Amino acid sequence: MSSLLPSIASLGLWGYWVIGLMALGEAFVLTSVFSPGTVVVVLGGALAAQGLYDLFDMMWFVAIGTILGSQASYWLGTKGESLFREGHPILSTANLERGQRFFAKYGGASIVIGHFLGPLRPIAPVVAGLSGMGGRRFLLWNIAGGGAYAIALVSVGYFFGTAFNIFGPTATRVGLFAGAVLVALALLWFVISRLRRGWPFTVSVLGSVGAAIRDNPEVRGLVARHPKLFRFLAARVSLETFRGLPTTLLGVTFLYFLGLYGELTLEVVGHGPIVEADTRLSNLLFAFRDDRLIRVFSLVTGLGQWRAIVIMALAATALMWVWDRRAYIPALWLVLAGNQITVTGLKLVFARARSDFAVYAESSYSFPSGHSAAIAALCIFVTYVLVRERIGRDIFWVLLCASLVFLVGLSRLYLNVHFLSDVLNGYVVGVLWAITGIFVAEHWGRGKRPAVGPAGARRRQRWISAGIVAVAAVALWLVVVNHAQTQQRAAPRAEIQLTTSVEQALKDGGLPARTESIIGTPQEPVSLILFAPDDAALLDIMAAAGWQEADRPTIRTLARAAVAAWLDRPYDRAPITPIFWNGWPQDFDFEQSVPAEGLRQRHHARFWRVPTKPAGGLQAYVGTASFDTGLKWGLTHRIAPNVDAERDLLIADLLRSGRVRQDGWAELVAPLLGQNVVGDPFFTDGRAAVLSAPVTGSGHEENR
C-alpha cells in the first residue's frame, strides 16, 4: 500500500476515475472482497491535501462510485437469496443473517449506516433488495449514504494529508511527543480492557472465597452470636440492590479519592516532592514546545472550558429527555455546579500562581485545574449513565471517557497553564463530584427503564437524537476553535538579574551549584563555567574541541540509540538523558565516542544557558561532564564515579582547540561523595573550571 499513493498521483486526472472505480468495487457485493476502496478513498483525500487533486471533485467521484456500486448490489438483492451460500467470504449465509437483523433494526437508515460498516457495506443494499424495499426509496437513502461516506472518508484523508504537510518535514520533537501520547493512550486502553475482561473472573473468585468463609463452622458460630452485625455486613456486599455492593464500592472509592485529595493538597501546601516535580516537568515540557503541538493542544484544551462543557451537558440533557431518562438530569447538573463551585473556592483559598512558561495568559489561579475537573466530572457521570442503561458497549464508553480526560489534562500540562499537581487535584475533584452524582441519581430514584415503544416512535427518537448530536458537534467545534484562536499569549519569561558574577552567585546560592533530578534530588555539581558570545559560538567551540552535538530525542533517534546500546554498536550522536539545573533541562548535549567501542561507552557533557542578560557581549553557560561505562538494567547508562576526570578531559580538549582560555577555578561546593538519579556513585572535589572565549578589543573582566 505504500506504493499506491505515488502510483495514483502519477495517473493525473485519471486518478479520479481510479479512486471512483475502487469505491464502486468495494460497494458492489461481487467485487467488494477484492477492492480496498476505503483505504484508497482516504488516500485520495490525502492526495487532495497535497494539492494534486481538487477536494470537492474527489468527493464527487467517490460519491458517484459508491452510489453506483450500492445500486448494483441492490439490483442483485432483488433477484433472491440464491446468491448466498455457506463459506463465501462475502455472500455467506451468516453475513445475510447479520444484514437482515441490521436492516430490521434500522430500516432505511441502515443504508446510510451500512456505508461505514465494512463487511455490511455491500450486504445492506442486497438485503434491502431482498426485503422488497422500493427502488425510489432505496435510491434516496443510497444517495444520502454515499454522499456522507464520500465527504467523511475524503475529509479524513485530507486531514491526515494536511497533518503530514505540517508535521512530516520536521517531525522531530513533535513526532516524539505524539508517539509518547499514543503509547500512553495505548497503555491506558490496555489496562482498562484487561480490568474489564478480568472483572467476571474476579467476581467469581471473590464469590467462591465468600462462600467458603460463610460455610466455615467457626464463622457460622460467630454469625450466630452477632446476627445484627452480620446482617448489616451482608447487606453491604449484596448484589441484589444498588444500596448493597455498588454503594459500598462507590463509598470506598469516594473515601480513597478524598484521602488522595488531602494528600495532594498537603504536598502542595508543604512544598513536598510533587511541587519539585511540578516545576521540572513544566520546564521539560517547555523544551518540547512546538507551534504545531500548541495549535493541536489549544483545540484539545478547549473541550474542558466552561462553554464546551455546557454544550456537552445540554446535549446530554436533551438526549436524556428524548429517551425518557430524565431522572439523571438533576444529578448531572448537580455534578457540574458542585464541581465548579468547589474549583472556584479552592483556587481562591490556595491562590497558587501559574507557571512562568504558560503559553496563554490566564486570569484565575492555578490550583486546581478547572478544565481537568470539569471534563472528569462530566465524562465519568455520562459514562455511568451510558453503561447503566446498557447503551452501546461499555468498554467503548469507558475508553473514550479515559482518553478525553487524559488528553485534556495533558493539554493543560503541555500549554504550561497548569502544573502536574493542579491537573491531578482537578481529576480528584471531578471524580468526587461524579461519584456524588451517581449516588444522587440512584437514591433519588432512577425509576424503571421505560418500556420499548413502537418502531415508529423509536425511529423518531433516533432522528431527533442524531439532530441533537449534530447540532451539539457543530456548536462544540465552533466554541473550541474560537477559544483556541482568541487565547491571549502570555508575556515571555523575564531574565533574572544578578548583582554579582556568575561564579559568586553559584557560590552564594543565588544560582544552584548542583544539578537535580526531576523531583529535585541533588545530583553532580556544576563543573564548568564557560563564557561565549552566543549559542552558535558555543557549538563552534565544542566542535573544534572534538565534541559532537548530540541528536535531539525523536522517535527515530531514540529507537536507533536503543538498538545501538543493546547490540553495542556505535552511534556518535546518540541522545542524552535530560538532567535539570535551576529547574531546567540542559540546553545543549555533547558527546565524544570511544574508539572501537559501541554506544555503551561514551564521554558526554551537558550545558545550560544561564538565564541572565549577557554582559559585555558574553553569555554564561554552566556544564557538567561524565563518562558512560556501560548499560544498567538494559535501559540506561552507568557513569564512572570519578566525574572530575571527565571534567579535566573536557577542559584539556577545549584548551587544545585554542578557542578558549582558562581564567581559573571556582570553589562551588565542598568535596563530596554522592549518587546520581539512578543510584550510580560519584565523587568530586567540588571545583568548577572558569573558561571564556576571548573577545577582540575588550578585557575579559569587562566582558563578564
pLDDT of residue 80 exceeding 80: no
Tens-place pLDDT, residues 515-573:
887 666 788 899 999 988 888 888 999 999 889 888 876 656 666 777 666 666 777 78
Q: Which amino acid is at 234?
A: A
Q: How many percent of the chain have pLDDT more than 70? A: 65
Burial class (CB in 10 A: 0-12, 13-18, 19+), 388: middle
Hey, CA dihedral for 166, 172, 175, 181, is it positive or negative? negative
pLDDT of residue 127 exceeding 90: no
Chain centroid offset of residue 448 CA: 38
Taking the C-alpha atoms of residue 146 and residue 144, their distance in angstroms, rounded to an integer, is 6
The terminus-to-terminus CA distance of the chain in angstroms comes to 60
Q: How many percent of the chain have pLDDT more than 90? A: 6
Taking the C-alpha atoms of residue 33 and residue 209, their distance in angstroms, rounded to an integer, is 51
Q: Are 46 and 161 in contact (CB under 8 A)?
A: yes
Taking the C-alpha atoms of residue 620 and residue 624, their distance in angstroms, rounded to an integer, is 14
Q: Are 616 and 704 in contact (CB under 8 A)?
A: yes
The three-point CA angle 205-211-212 to 5° equals 90
Taking the C-alpha atoms of residue 559 and residue 618, their distance in angstroms, rounded to an integer, is 37
Tens-place pLDDT, residues 184-230:
666 656 665 655 555 565 656 566 666 666 677 776 777 777 777 76
Q: Which amino acid is at 242?
A: F
- Which is more confident, 219 or 429? 429
Q: Residue 413: its pLDDT value, please?
A: 84
Band (pLDDT 50/70/90 cuts) for residue 585 is confident
* Residue that the C-alpha cell 448530536 belongs to: 469
pTM summary value: 0.51
- Which is more confident, 703 or 520? 520
Tens-place pLDDT, residues 263-280:
666 666 666 666 666 766
Q: Residue 83: its pLDDT value, please?
A: 58
The three-point CA angle 210-216-219 to 5° equals 85
Q: Residue 698: its pLDDT value, please?
A: 40
Taking the C-alpha atoms of residue 251 and residue 662, their distance in angstroms, rounded to an integer, is 67
Over range 590-604, report the average pLDDT.
77
Here the cell at position 294 is: 500548541
- φ and ψ of 81, to 5 deg: -90, 5
pLDDT of residue 314 exceeding 90: yes
pLDDT of residue 703 exceeding 50: no
Q: Are 562 and 681 in contact (CB under 8 A)?
A: no
Q: Are 43 and 5 in contact (CB under 8 A)?
A: yes
Here the cell at position 602 is: 561514551
pLDDT of residue 81 exceeding 60: no
Length of the chain counted residue by residue: 704
Band (pLDDT 50/70/90 cuts) for residue 448 is very low
Own/partner pairs, 387-394, CB within 8 angstroms, 24+ separation: 388/446, 389/325, 389/449, 394/196
Q: Residue 623: its pLDDT value, please?
A: 92
Tens-place pLDDT, residues 492-516:
555 667 677 888 888 888 888 888 8
Band (pLDDT 50/70/90 cuts) for residue 251 is confident
Tens-place pLDDT, residues 33-57:
666 777 788 878 877 776 677 878 8
Which of 238-242, 364-368, 501-505, 507-511 comes out lowest in average pLDDT? 238-242
Q: Residue 381: its pLDDT value, please?
A: 92
pLDDT of residue 375 exceeding 90: yes
DSSP string, 293-320: HHHHHHHHHGGGSHHHHHHHHHHHHHHH
- φ and ψ of 358, to 5 deg: -60, 135
Over range 439-458, report the average pLDDT.
61
Band (pLDDT 50/70/90 cuts) for residue 182 is low
Query: Across all residues in the chain, what is the average pLDDT?
Result: 75
447 three-class SS? coil
Own/partner pairs, 383-390, CB within 8 angstroms, 24+ separation: 384/434, 384/437, 384/438, 384/441, 385/316, 385/320, 385/325, 385/328, 385/332, 385/441, 388/446, 389/325, 389/449
Over range 589-599, report the average pLDDT.
77
Which of 201-215, 352-366, 613-627 comes out lowest in average pLDDT? 201-215
Hey, CA dihedral for 314, 315, 316, 318, is it positive or negative? positive
Band (pLDDT 50/70/90 cuts) for residue 443 is confident
Taking the C-alpha atoms of residue 110 and residue 462, their distance in angstroms, rounded to an integer, is 12
Give the strand pairing for 602-609 and 619-632.
antiparallel
* Residue that the C-alpha cell 479552592 belongs to: 346
The count of C-alpha atoms lying within 13 angstroms of the C-alpha of 617, restricted to the half-sphere facing its C-beta, is 13
Q: Are 649 and 608 in contact (CB under 8 A)?
A: no
Tens-place pLDDT, residues 384-427:
888 888 887 777 888 888 888 988 988 888 888 888 888 888 88
Q: Are 658 and 619 in contact (CB under 8 A)?
A: no
pLDDT of residue 598 exceeding 80: no
Taking the C-alpha atoms of residue 327 and residue 444, their distance in angstroms, rounded to an integer, is 8
Q: Are 379 and 401 in contact (CB under 8 A)?
A: yes
- Which is more confident, 466 or 186? 466
The three-point CA angle 452-94-138 to 5° equals 65
- Could you tell me where the DSSP H helices lie in 50-172? 55-77, 93-106, 109-114, 120-130, 135-167
Which of 130-139, 144-153, 246-255, 651-660 comes out lowest in average pLDDT? 246-255
